[in-house]
Structure formats: structure tokens, C-alpha cells
Amino acid sequence: MGKNKKSYAKILPILAISFAIFIGTLGALIINQQISVVADKQEEYLGNTLGLQLAKVAKTSIINKDILSLQIELDDMLAIDGVGYVAVYDASKKILAKAKGPIKKNTPDNLGSRYTSPIAIENEIVGYGLIQFYDGFFINNFRAINITIALLFTGMFSILIYASVKSGKILSLRLNR
């Protein structure tokens, strides 16, 4: 019976640590998945919107055959955060103008998904606008949220473990009296 009384000082912290590890891991996986889904949706919405904007801007330049103005517009689109590559193709998929941002990593191709929008004049496709973001740009913006949530979980579980150690010792002392 004496062994059971003293075991609370060991069992409660072990249970608290096991609970903290299990719930923390499960919570981190769920939250990271949700954040990834949100980042993917944001990238898709922005990619489609910028593709449509590029098609609208390129339409005038294609009608006027003004490639220089089109190149200036493409260079301006590179100033948007995360945009790594912008191009306009004619209907035969020949490049009319393109602009590529600097490579930010040591890999030669660090561009993510392509977002293409058709350029139509009077219901006829005369070209395509292409936008590509840097790979991982959107998920990197959510990294601060991941770190904050991890610190919050760590703080909560540290308090839980500390409380279980204290209550385990107190419970063992009371049972020993």
C-alpha cells in the first residue's frame, strides 16, 4: 500500500506529459493542415485574379501590337510580392513578352503553380496571360502563426505538467500521513 501512495508523484506527471505530447502533436497537425489549406486557397484566388488582370492589361497591347508597353506592364507586375514569373503568349503559344524575378533559393526552378488566363477579343482567344508565384511564398507568410500557436501550446502544457508534478507530490504526501 505504501508503494501506491508514493506512485502518484510519478504517475501524474507521466500522464500529463503523455497527454501533452499526444494533444500537442494532434493539434499541431490539424492546425498546420488548416493553415496549408487557407494558404493554397489564397494563392489560387490571387493567382486567378492577377491572371485576369494581366489578360485585361495585355488585351490593349495585343490589339495595338505594342510589345514595349506590354513588357513594362509585366515588369510592373513583378513588383507584387511573391510573383516570380509573368508572361504573355499569343494564340499559338509563342511568347510575346515575359518577366522573371530573381531566383531566391539555390534551386534553379523555385516557381510554384501556374495561373493562366485567356486573352479574348470579341469571343476569340488571341493569347494567354501566365502568372507564377514563388514556391512556398504563401505558406511562409503563415509561419509566424504556426510559431505563435506552438508557443501557446508549449506554455499551456508546461503549466499542466508543473501542476501535475505539484499535485502528485501533494497527493502522495497526504496519502503517506
DSSP notation for 82-109: TEEEEEEEETTS-EEEEEEPPP-SSSS-
84 CB-contact burial (10 Å; exposed 0-12 / middle 13-18 / buried 19+): buried
- Residue 6 CA to residue 170 CA, distance in Å, equals 10
Domain ranges of the chain: 2-176
Amino acid (1-letter code) at residue 63? I
Quick one: fold of 2-176?
Answer: Beta-Lactamase (3.30.450)
Task: For residue 106, give Cα distances in angstroms to 70, 113, 141.
Answer: 30, 19, 20
Task: For residue 73, give Cα distances in angstroms to 85, 87, 115, 127.
Answer: 13, 10, 17, 16
Question: Quick one: residue 122, left, alpha or beta (phi over 0 = left, psi -120 to 50 = alpha)?
Answer: left
**Whole-structure pTM value:** 0.69
Read off the pLDDT of each residue in 127-135 and give the average, rounded to a whole number. Answer: 88
Q: Cell numbers 503559344 label which residue?
A: 93
Q: What is the enclosing helix (H) or strand (E) of 115?
A: strand 111-121
- Residue 40 CA to residue 107 CA, distance in Å, equals 22
- Residue 175 CA to residue 25 CA, distance in Å, equals 34
Residue 1 confidence class, pLDDT cut points 50, 70, 90 = very low
pLDDT tens for 15-59 read 878 888 888 888 888 888 888 888 888 888 988 999 999 888 888
- Judged against a pLDDT cut of 70, whether residue 106 lies above it is answered with no
Q: Which residues pair with 134 in a beta bridge?
A: 111
Read off the pLDDT of each residue in 77-90 and give the average, rounded to a whole number. Answer: 88
